[in-house]
Each structure stands twice: as C-alpha cells, then as structure tokens.
C-alpha cells in the first residue's frame, strides 16, 4: 500500500512538473521585449550613453542611462538643483518597468556623472534648454514617443524647453515647480516660514538677514525643521539611501550661482531671481500634468492653477512634499502612469 501511494505521489509530482514546464515554455513566446537590449548600440554599457554636447566653450559629455524599451512611451527625466543628479529618481525602477514605460536617467552638464567644465557662462536657462534638445536628438525622441518630466529646477527647465520646442513633445510633466520664482518666494515667506516654531523661524531669519548661510547652526535648523516637513515629509533617519546619496553628490557651485544659499527663495545676485513665465503658460498646448504636494516647498494650489492655464492640463496633488515620488509614492506614480498611458492611448482629458 505504501509503495502504491509513493508511486502515485511521484507520478503526480512528475505530471505537475510537466504541466509547469509547458506553462513556462508557452509563456516564452509572449515574453515582452521591454528588457531586451540585444542588437542595441548601448547593450554592452547596460543602456548608458555619454552624449556629446556642443557649447560655445567646447564639446562636453553628459551621462544618460536608458531603462527598458518602449517605442511609444519614452520619458526623459530632468533632475532638480541646479546641480542635482538623476539619483533622486532611482525609485522609478520600482514602478515604471511593470508598466513597460521606457525612461531615461540624465545628469545635466556639471552634475555628478557628467562632465564638469565649471564655467558659469554655461549656467543659463538658454544653454540648459539647448542641452536638452541635443540630448533629445541623440536619443531619437520625437512627438510620437517623447514625454518630458521635470522636477523642481528640472520643472523650470522643462517649461522653458516646452515653450521653445513643444512640437517635439508628446506629453509634459511638471513636478514640484511653480511658474514664478517671486510667487515661490512669497509662499515660502508668508506661509511656510511662519509654520515653523516661532523661535526657530526667528533664528533662521536673523541668520538670513546677516547672510550667515555658512553657519552650521543655519544648516542644522533648516535641515531638522524645514527639510523634514517640506523637502521630504519624513524624519531624517527615515530618508532613503538614494536620496541621501543624491544630496551628497550635489554640485554647490552651480546651485549657489543660480539659486543662492537660502531654501526660502533666490538670494543675492543668483541668476534665477525674478524668473516668471506664468503669463506664458497659455502658450503650452501639449498635454500637461502638474504635480504638487500638500507639504511641498511649492504652493500646491498654485500648481493646480497652472494646470488650468495651459491649453490641455491635468493636476495631481499628493500628500507628500517636494520629493513626493518617495513620501507619497503610490499617489504620485498612479497619477503619473495614468497620465502617460492616457496620452499614449488617446484618452487624455483635462480635470
């Protein structure tokens, strides 16, 4: 009896194994080509391309890395800063591949993985726009597949690029960036600053008035009380490794030159002072998604307003802060993926 049962058990196991093998073999015929890099010119580098950028000061290389293959949905990611890195977007790896959306990491000139000419004459909006256009051409992105995503400074750059080259874009995503630096400064001064503990706000303001930005106490207060509320809405010990790594790779030279020292606005003679294209938003006709966070350094209501000013806009407000791709990842990626697929399927509607 035991022998018979043992024989039946082994036979059933073999049968199940054969059935499982059939399933695997059948599935192979339908395997997606999303992760297939064979016969591509960047296979040996794992999707990495160093793209030459022509500038008035010579030719320099910028670092890009393609993730996946999709001829209809290709997202170029513009990081913040200026002087940040693509690393802030590394958790896109946890969401986009399952949706088979191709995306391209890109470190702008003078950022960590790209060449660093360290020439301030290249640190302009005009040159940054031209740089994006050269990258677009090198990667064969066009109006049939090109989605441009920009966050913070990258959002400013994406808006400026779209105002000049929107005929090349299939969809535009602006995350955590207002269309007006003066309005951003007003929001920081009138809303966010006063939300700090009064004694903390007073001490920060005193150091800013004296331009004592190098004071370790200034960094301590801003990091503990402002960053944990409005940059990433989490205690510092819960910040993920990839975000901390990106901050450690920030280029302070270009950041200070264009943004300045303060987190409450553009300081001194920083070149982004006074930037404002709010009255030009109505020139944007490409489908556009505006993403803001309830705890963001940028006014979420202003971000919603921006979606009504472009010709084909949609708004997404998360429960996160400036880096809402992490502190409210589910809402962020659900809304972002839906926008990309709606545009791709021809189902885009405003909200």
Residues 336, 337, 338, 340, CA torsion sign: positive
- Measure the CA–CA gap between 87 and 285, rounded to whole angstroms: 30
Of 296, 299, 327, 328, which residue is the catalytic one?
296
pLDDT band, residue 333 (cuts 50/70/90)? very high
Write out the two tokens for 12: 């059933």
Of 299, 322, 327, 328, which residue is the catalytic one?
322
Q: Which of 23-32, 100-109, 128-137, 193-202 has the lowest mean pLDDT?
A: 23-32
Respond yes or no: is residue 107 known to be catalytic.
no
- What are the strands, taking DSSP E only, across 209-340? 288-293, 313-318
Q: Which is nearest to 259 in space by CA: 153, 177, 161, 119?
A: 153
Q: Which residues contact 241 (CB under 8 A, 6 or more apart)?
A: none
Respond yes or no: is residue 165 known to be catalytic.
no
- Measure the CA–CA gap between 181 and 277, rounded to whole angstroms: 9
Q: Which is nearest to 97 in space by CA: 68, 128, 77?
A: 68
Q: Is the pLDDT of residue 17 over 50?
A: no
Tens of pLDDT, residue by residue over 112-125, are 999 999 999 999 99
Of 111, 114, 128, 152, which residue is the catalytic one?
152
Query: For the whole model, what pTM was predicted?
Result: 0.90
Are residues 68 and 105 in contact, defined by beta-carbon separation less than 8 angstroms?
no
Respond yes or no: is residue 296 known to be catalytic.
yes
- Tokens 């640190």 locate to 123
Kindly compute the dihedral angle of the four CA atoms of residues 164, 181, 335, 172, in this order, to the nearest 10 degrees. 0
pLDDT band, residue 18 (cuts 50/70/90)? very low
Average pLDDT, the chain: 91
pLDDT over 90, % of the chain: 85
- Measure the CA–CA gap between 143 and 162, rounded to whole angstroms: 12
Tens of pLDDT, residue by residue over 275-284, are 999 999 999 9
């Amino acid at each position: 009896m035991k022998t018979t049962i043992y024989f039946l058990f082994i036979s059933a196991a073999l049968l199940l194994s054969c059935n499982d093998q059939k399933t695997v073999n059948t599935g192979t015929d339908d395997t997606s080509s999303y992760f297939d890099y064979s016969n591509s010119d960047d296979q040996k580098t794992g999707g990495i391309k160093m793209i030459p950028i022509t500038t008035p000061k010579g030719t320099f290389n910028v670092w890009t890395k393609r993730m996946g293959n999709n001829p209809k949905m290709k997202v170029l990611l513009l990081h913040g800063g200026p002087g940040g890195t693509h690393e802030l977007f590394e958790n896109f790896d946890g969401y986009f591949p399952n949706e088979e959306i191709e995306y391209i990491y890109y470190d702008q000139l003078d950022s960590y993985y790209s060449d660093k000419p360290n020439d301030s004459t290249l640190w302009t909006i005009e040159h940054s726009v031209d740089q994006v256009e050269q990258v677009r051409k090198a990667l064969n992105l066009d109006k049939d597949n090109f989605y441009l995503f920009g966050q913070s400074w990258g959002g400013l750059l994406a808006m400026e690029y779209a105002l000049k080259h929107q005929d090349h874009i299939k969809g535009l995503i602006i995350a955590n960036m207002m269309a007006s630096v003066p309005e951003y400064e007003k929001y920081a001064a009138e809303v966010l600053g006063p939300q700090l503990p009064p004694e903390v706000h007073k001490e920060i303001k005193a150091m800013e008035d004296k331009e004592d930005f190098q004071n370790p106490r200034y960094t301590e207060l801003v990091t503990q009380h402002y960053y944990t509320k409005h940059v990433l809405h989490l205690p510092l010990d819960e910040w993920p490794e990839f975000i901390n790594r990106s901050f450690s790779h920030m280029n302070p030279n270009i950041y200070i030159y264009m943004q300045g020292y303060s987190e409450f606005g553009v300081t001194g003679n920083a070149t982004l002072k006074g930037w404002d294209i709010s009255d030009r938003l109505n020139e944007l006709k490409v489908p556009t998604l505006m993403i803001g966070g309830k705890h963001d350094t940028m006014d979420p209501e202003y971000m919603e307003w921006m979606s009504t000013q472009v010709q084909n806009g949609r708004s997404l407000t998360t429960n996160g802060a400036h880096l809402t791709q992490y502190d409210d990842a589910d809402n962020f990626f659900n809304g972002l993926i839906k926008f990309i697929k709606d545009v791709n399927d021809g189902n885009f509607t405003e909200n």
